[in-house]
Structure 1
Amino acid sequence: MNSNVKVIEEKILSNNWYVLKKITFDYRNQSGEWQTQAREAYDRGNGAVILLYNADNQTVVLTEQFRMPTYINGNETGMLIEACAGLLDKDNPEACIRRETEEETGYRIGEVQKVFEAYMSPGSVTEILYFFVAEYSKSMKINEGGGAEHEQENIEVLEIPFKRALEMIETGEIKDGKTIMLLQYAQIKGLL
């Protein structure tokens, strides 16, 4: 534990969808002075994300679905193109991403490779996201995907040429951070 932090109080502000807490704490700054601060932190659990790619066809599989937070922040349709992702829900990251890949995209993938992990919005969200890549082929398709019905997901599965996906970052058609990170990883590593 960090000896420069002393938690004074944790107060639950909401426990509706996930947990929103207000944390009051003392923090010793670089000059050695203690300051009392308060921050809100949203705990929705950790997650995993995967980029499915086909090196032979030079394509990637992405998803598109409605995201309310983007809608209320200026995304006119609320639709967002993303890499397949989901919350761990007590699974380990690899088991989670395999489950989510089948539910969302309809592909049952073989070998997956963890490439890195990152805090996506560390100023307010506790989540660590585990990033994966995996090759896919048409023979791995076991259903149409679209998400889990009980989770009210309405996911469209997109197969996009890799070069076009990179262009979509520049045009603003892809604005999702985790997806941009994985597409750029694939470009840097020469996966496609």
Structure 2
Amino acid sequence: MKVFLSGVLADPALLEIVLGRPVETPATRLPGHAVLDPEGGADRLTLLCAAPGSEAAGLLPELTEGDVARLCYFTGWYAEDLAEIAIPGEAEAVYARIDPASGGSPWDAARWRAQNATLGCEIAREIMLGYGRRPAEMVRRIRPYLAARAWSRALAARETPCTLRSDRTREGAVRILSDRRAHDGFFGMRDFTLQHERFDGAMSEVIHREGFVAYDAALVLPYDPERDLVLLIEQMRYGPLLREDRHPWVLEPVAGLVDAGESPEDCARREAVEEAGLRLGRLEPMLRVYASPGYTSEFFHCFLGLCDLGDHNGGINGLDSENEDIRSHVLPFEAAMDLVESGEVNAGPLAMMLLWLARARERLRSAA
């Protein structure tokens, strides 16, 4: 069957990833319709909507039943969503998914190719790796998180210093011999074997490991340098609960997963509003670190958020859609350090960020 594809789906490289094979993609146009770019993260698909007087550019590949199944898996569509449409000059039936009229700006294909095509293809790879194993309903539910996982890999490609540590690379000094997805839901678990170059120059024996696939997160410690106040949040956490800690409510910095295409800085500001009802001023980079590099890909982008805490009296915040129940505490810096000393602060990132602030505090206060 011939299917009209537009917007993101009209990118030949992305479409090849989705279908698992190259296809002929003749260009065509659909009168009376427009391609719209909805608001949201980089995982959002473009919309094809009825628009009298407009004309939508797209591709017209011939797809098999298997191709349509893969397309629906990637997009979250159902096969019955494809309705017959009329394209001038086409004698055969043509099908397309027509979206309800909604808000959105006109699709700018050139801008998408320049800014988001690489990430779009990585998101497609991440989603399609689960085809045949991860249920389609799960993909519909966790699509933004799968996209964030792809974005983590893109952020990891940025260069980092190698002044003391070895500058050997994953591509040059590590051989992945097998890589199996043992679990693939909100979090992933990979079962893999590898060899790596040793410090003596020889290759290691074959090593079998399991690894926990997580996300990049932005963490921010709000600080009022004029009043020497910090804001900490408190919430029930699943790690202590699984460890059977009697007190699973934990003091932490404001934090959240970095959405696909979002900068860690923008994520930090967004999370401060969501979790603490707080709008931050200048952000000062603190640290960029792996949470526990021996077994998980989780990575933290840590910031100090300068702000006015004089009128912030704590309170309860968080998103109902994410079942968040978050309490804010505003307290003097020295009182927070006392909690580190006593062990009441038992989340490593918060202790690390408070110790970083202890080193920078005099500079920040003198400039306030």
TM-score, scaled to structure 1? 0.91
Give 1:116 deviation, angstroms.
Answer: 2.1
* 1:87 counterpart residue number: 257
Q: Deviations over 1:99-151 (max 9, x none)?
A: 1110001001122111221111001111221110122214886x955211111
Q: 5 Å matches for 1:145-164? A: 146-164=317-335
* 2:293 counterpart residue number: 122
* SS of the residue 1:98 aligns to: helix
- Which residue identity is paired with 1:16? G
Q: Percent identity?
A: 25
User: How far apart, in 2, do the equivalents of 1:125 and 1:139 lie?
Assistant: 38
Give the superposed CA RMSD.
Answer: 1.9
Of residues 243, 265, 285, the one that matches 1:73 is: 243
* 2:222 counterpart residue number: 52
CA contact (8 A) 1:105 1:147 kept: yes
Of residues 5, 16, 21, the one that matches 2:190 is: 21
- Which residue identity is paired with 1:15? D
Displaced runs of 4 or more, over 4 A:
138-141
Task: Considering Cα pairs closer than 8 Å and 6+ residues apart, tell me whether 1 or 2 has the greater RCO.
Answer: 1
Is 1:181 equivalent to 2:356 in the alignment?
Answer: no
Give 1 or 2 for the bigger CA radius of gyration.
2
CA contact (8 A) 2:254 2:275 kept: yes
CA contact (8 A) 1:107 1:140 kept: no
Of residues 248, 264, 267, the one that matches 1:96 is: 267
Give the structure with the higher percent helix.
2
TM-score, scaled to structure 2? 0.49
Give 1:74 deviation, angstroms.
Answer: 4.5
Of residues 123, 127, 132, the one that matches 2:303 is: 132
* SS of the residue 2:275 aligns to: helix
Gaps of 5+ in 2: 1-168
* SS of the residue 1:180 aligns to: helix
Q: 5 Å matches for 1:100-115? A: 100-115=271-286
User: How far apart, in 2, do the equivalents of 1:140 and 1:25 lie?
Assistant: 54
User: How far apart, in 2, do the equivalents of 1:97 and 1:119 lie?
Assistant: 17
Cα distance change of structure 1 residues 99 and 63 upon mapping to structure 2, 3 Å threshold: same
User: How far apart, in 1, do the equivalents of 2:196 and 2:203 lie?
Assistant: 8
Give 1:39 deviation, angstroms.
Answer: 1.7
Gaps of 5+ in 1: none
CA contact (8 A) 2:316 2:325 kept: no
Q: Deviations over 1:76-112 (max 9, x none)?
A: 1211100101110211100110111100010011221
Q: How many correspondences in the alignment?
A: 191
Give 1:71 deviation, angstroms.
Answer: 2.2
User: How far apart, in 2, do the equivalents of 1:151 and 1:140 lie?
Assistant: 27
CA contact (8 A) 2:218 2:267 kept: yes
User: How far apart, in 2, do the equivalents of 1:85 and 1:65 lie?
Assistant: 12
